[in-house]
């Protein structure tokens, strides 16, 4: 059955409203944080603190939103998936869980790297977040993990978006509508 067959008023089982809100908030914040993080090394030195403030502060919000999203996902059963080959179900499930893991681990690695370089997280210039590790020789390793996870998130996002577009444009099913 396609979108055209079902019509605009067709019922579609949707994710819980909290899951949908958290999904789109995280997506929006990632679309801000990722490019800001990418360009930090290219901006003038006097502008870097503002870029770091935005990147780190919104990244910290992503961490908490993802923890809330994980809780909602574990408590609320997602709506049934449309029929698809088993390999697609496995790929979609793997991409989703890797996105969850990366979107939680990446801000943690960034937070710890910042701390290990000797800088506490100054959340939007309002609150200094407690530093669990202080200055450490592990800073470059933590930053490498943070950067690796950032690129991994980009790849996973592209796979996720590719799946969404396949369902919406090629298969013309209502998969996208579950998250709207």
pLDDT in tens, 28-54: 999 999 999 999 999 999 999 999 999
Q: What DSSP element (H or E) covers 127?
A: strand 127-129
| Contacts for 82 with CB less than 8 Å, ≥ 6 apart | 167, 171, 173, 174, 175
CA distance 91 to 88: 5
pLDDT in tens, 146-168: 999 999 999 999 999 999 998 88
What local confidence, expressed as pLDDT, does residue 83 receive? 84
CATH number of the structural domain spanning residue 152: 1.20.950
CA angle 24, 168, 149 (to 5 degrees): 45
CA distance 169 to 123: 40
Question: What's the rounded mean pLDDT across residues 127-143?
Answer: 94
Q: Say how many domains are in the chain.
A: 1
Question: What's the rounded mean pLDDT across residues 93-121?
Answer: 97
CA distance 8 to 131: 51
Percent of the chain clearing pLDDT 70 (strictly above) = 93
Residues 93, 26 contacting (CB under 8 angstroms): no
Own/partner long-range contacts of 154-157 (Cβ < 8 Å, ≥24 apart): 154/34, 156/95, 156/98, 156/99, 156/102, 157/30, 157/99
Domain that holds residue 74: 3-7+14-178
Percent of the chain clearing pLDDT 90 (strictly above) = 77
Residues 177, 15 contacting (CB under 8 angstroms): no
What Cα–Cα distance (Å) separates residue 56 from each residue in 94, 126, 137, 163, 179?
A: 27, 13, 20, 30, 27
Quote the mean pLDDT of the chain: 91
Q: Which of 1, 69, 2 is nearest to 29 (CA)?
A: 69
Residues 120, 129 contacting (CB under 8 angstroms): yes
């Amino acid at each position: 059955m396609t979108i055209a067959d079902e019509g605009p008023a067709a019922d579609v089982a949707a994710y819980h409203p909290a899951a949908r809100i958290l999904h789109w908030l995280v997506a929006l914040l990632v679309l801000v944080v990722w490019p800001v993080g990418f360009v930090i090394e290219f901006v003038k030195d006097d502008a870097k603190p503002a870029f770091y403030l935005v990147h780190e502060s919104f990244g910290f919000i992503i961490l908490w939103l993802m923890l809330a999203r994980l809780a909602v996902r574990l408590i609320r059963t997602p709506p049934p998936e449309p029929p698809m080959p088993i390999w697609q179900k496995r790929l979609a499930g793997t991409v989703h869980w890797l996105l969850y893991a990366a979107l939680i681990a990446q801000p943690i690695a960034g937070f710890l790297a910042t701390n290990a370089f000797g800088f506490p997280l100054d959340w939007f210039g309002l609150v200094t977040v407690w530093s669990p590790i202080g200055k450490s020789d592990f800073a470059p390793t933590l930053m490498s993990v943070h950067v690796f996870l950032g690129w991994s998130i980009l790849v996973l996002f592209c796979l996720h978006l590719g799946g969404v577009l396949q369902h919406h444009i090629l298969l013309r099913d209502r998969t996208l509508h579950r998250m709207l």
